[in-house]
Amino acid sequence: MTQNIYDDPNFFRAYAQLPRSMQGLDAAPEFPALRALLPDLNGLDVLDLGCGYGWFCRWARTQGARRVAGVDVSELMLARARSMPTDPAITYAREDLETIKLKRKAYGLVYSSLAFHYLHNLEGLLGEVRSALTPGGRLVFSVEHPIVTAPLQPGWSDAGSGRKSWPVNGYLHEGERSTDWLAKGVIKQHRTIATYVGLLLRQGFRLAHLEEWGPTPQQIAAQPTLAVERERPPFLLIAVE
């Protein structure tokens, strides 16, 4: 099983303070770009892998999704999701994405935000997703960009030039990275873009869209601290069919 850092009380306490925890999708600046990759949700059955507080599950219902299933490994996250106003068309379940078994041909959309980079057995999960999609169904997901996850000591460098840079090393050395994000020793799996794409193509998916997300000029105008994220993209967004 993956390290379940979200059930670490100290991590969870810090995570709960993040804007994207408190305010949901509106505080996730990459969500408009992810949203643009979604199919029409009207009447669709949707699965959210790593649903957290369930922000996306509830939003999908406002877009006409017929049923939404949210799964997450974290009890604390699911408890928070279940504390929100209930909707009988949304179900939450505790599942380990490393070993989860999915219903066959059950979903028109499988969605995942910033969860896959925690997994060892992404290949197994993608095989499940492939079988779980209805014909013409779509997988849309985001992960931390491999430029971000690669370095053994990630962080911005200034180097006196006034322009920030993100020193990259270890990019082709895939595997575990331990970082101190909200808590000490959070474990993520570094994979290259080529590996993400290769895993998907080998499962028989067709690549529909690949995006190295950065904030728009409008977003930077509203929140100037985002500007540095254009020096190197924080997230990788992918849609496959």
C-alpha 120/C-alpha 113 separation (Å) is 16
Residues 6+ apart with CB under 8 A from 2: 73, 96, 97, 98, 118, 119, 120, 187
Residue 161: other Cβ atoms inside 10 A: 8
Rank residues 18 and 201 by Cβ distance to a second copy and give the closer one.
Answer: 201
Pattern 88-127, a second copy, x by CB under 8 A: ----------------------------------------
Interface with a second copy, residue 173, by CB under 8 A: yes
Interface with a second copy, residue 178, by CB under 8 A: no
Q: How far is the CB of 130 from a second copy (least distance, A)?
A: 17
Interface with a second copy, residue 7, by CB under 8 A: no
Of 49, 110, 44, which Cα lies nearest the Cα of 74? 49
Residue 100: other Cβ atoms inside 10 A: 17
Contact with a second copy (CB under 8 A) among 168, 187, 221, 222: 168
Pattern 122-151, a second copy, x by CB under 8 A: -------------------------x--xx
Contact with a second copy (CB under 8 A) among 106, 211, 219, 220: 211
Rg of the chain, C-alpha, whole Å: 18
Interface with a second copy, residue 198, by CB under 8 A: yes
Rank residues 127 and 151 by Cβ distance to a second copy and give the closer one.
Answer: 151
C-alpha 214/C-alpha 234 separation (Å) is 7
Interface with a second copy, residue 157, by CB under 8 A: yes
Question: From its phi and psi, is residue 3 left (phi > 0), alpha (psi between -120 and 50) or beta?
Answer: beta
Judge residue 64's burial from the number of C-beta atoms within 10 Å of its C-beta, 0-12 exposed, 13-18 middle, 19 or more buried.
exposed
Q: How far is the CB of 147 from a second copy (least distance, A)?
A: 6
Q: How far is the CB of 172 from a second copy (least distance, A)?
A: 4
How many binding residues for a second copy (CB under 8 A)? 37
* Contact assessment for residue 121 and residue 2, using Cβ atoms and an 8 Å cutoff: no
Q: Which residues bind a second copy (CB under 8 A)?
A: 147, 150-153, 157, 159, 161, 163-173, 192-194, 197-198, 201, 206-212, 214, 230-233
